[in-house]
Amino acid sequence: MKIRQVDFRRIMYYIVMQMIGEFEYLILSSVARLGANAYGASIRSEIEKATGRRCSIGALYTTLDRLENKGLVRTWMGEPTPERGGRSKRLVQVTATGVKDASYFFKAITRISKGASWTSNRLTTR
């Protein structure tokens, strides 16, 4: 009889109903924007362009692992290319759960930002 492997980390993630973090959201959004071209170097460039800050490899790869453990992204190794010194890319794709969690985060951020002084649609108070 084949025993189905149970991923306890994923179960715990759903039990505690964690919301994704802001860096996780940045990665998910970059991966969704890049589509089939989403891999380490391109995601870093995308995040650096959007935030204007440096994104370290350590932060990126450990967060990617965390997202994969939560089942929000799927990663696999691609083909080696000459411009990468004959090394493979770690390609990334957002899963359906990832899309759901990212849109939940975006809605929450949009809702909570309404009325804040830095948003354009702020409510003026006397």
Partner 1 sequence: MDFKPAHNPMILRQGWPVVIWLSRGLGQAERDAVLGDLAERNERVGRAIVDVFGLVVRRQAAVLSDLRLWVALAFLILPVSYLLSAIAQSAAGEGAVYSWMYLNNWDWALTRYPGFWYVLRETAMHFGIGCLALACCSWSAGLLIGRLPNAILRASRNAFFVLLAASQFGHAPIRMVQLWMFLHGHLWPSLPDYNAPVTANVFYRVFSPWIVLAAFVILPVLFGIRQGKRSMLQSRNMHVGLVTAATIALVILLIQAPGAELLLGAAIREWLWRNRDAMQWLPLLSCWPMFYWIAMCFGRYRGARQQQRDKQIST
The minimum distance between CB 11 and partner 1, in angstroms, equals: 17
In SS3 terms, 4-18 reads as CCCCHHHHHHHHHCC
Site for partner 1 in 53-82 (CB under 8 A): 56-58, 61-62, 77, 80-82
26 three-state secondary structure: helix
For residue 28, which amino acid is it? L
Site for partner 1 in 22-41 (CB under 8 A): 39-41
Q: Do residues 58 and 70 lie in contact, with contact meaning Cβ atoms separated by under 8 Å?
A: no
Comparing CB distances to partner 1, the nearer of 47 and 105 is 47
Comparing CB distances to partner 1, the nearer of 32 and 59 is 59
Choose which of 87, 100, 107, 122 interacts with partner 1 (CB under 8 A).
Answer: 87
104 three-state secondary structure: helix
Comparing CB distances to partner 1, the nearer of 53 and 111 is 53
For residue 18, which amino acid is it? Q
- Give the pairing of strands 73-77 and 90-94: antiparallel
Site size for partner 1 (CB under 8 A)? 22
Give the binding site for partner 1 (CB under 8 A): 39-41, 44-45, 56-58, 61-62, 77, 80-90
